[in-house]
Amino acid sequence: MQRRRNAMNYDILKLELQDAAYAAMTDAEAAQALNALVVDAKQSISSHDIRKYLMLVDKLLPIETSVLESATAATRALEIFPAFDMAETAVETKLIAVLDALITDSLIDATDKAAILSLGDKLISRAELLGLPDVGVWHVEMARG
């Protein structure tokens, strides 16, 4: 993942560095902590990636050729949504419901559901969460004054 190259917002960085967690850290340690990929976040799951997964586990064609309502709903959802934004609650809820219906009809299993949903998981840094670019030692030095 490529990080944004926007200018440093020193007001946000100064506020963050006031947290007790950074008090005993050197400037280099604080910069490293801010850039570490440790924050769970959600990202979009492309319909292409879902189809690819289902094809690799030999479940795409049975779903696409099934006359069951769950299969029709899943096929339509994959056509309508180019991607499922997992940060949007309504979209995540709908995708889970579609997958649960496929499980009920034995077209996929819980392992498949977990694998598909995991495509929407990613780790980001605290800096990215705060809307900051990569934080360098010099940024921390300037923010701490």
Structure confidence at residue 1 (pLDDT) = 44
Do 98 and 53 contact (CB within 8 A), yes or no? no
Do 84 and 95 contact (CB within 8 A), yes or no? yes
Whole-model pTM: value is 0.74
DSSP code of residue 41: E
Return d(Cα 142, Cα 125) in angstroms, integer: 20
* pLDDT tens column, 23-39: 999 999 999 999 999 99
Residue 4 predicted with pLDDT over 60: no
Please give the mean pLDDT across all residues of the chain. Answer: 95
Residue 2 predicted with pLDDT over 50: no
Question: What phi-psi label fits residue 138: left (phi over 0), alpha (psi between -120 and 50 degrees) or beta?
Answer: alpha
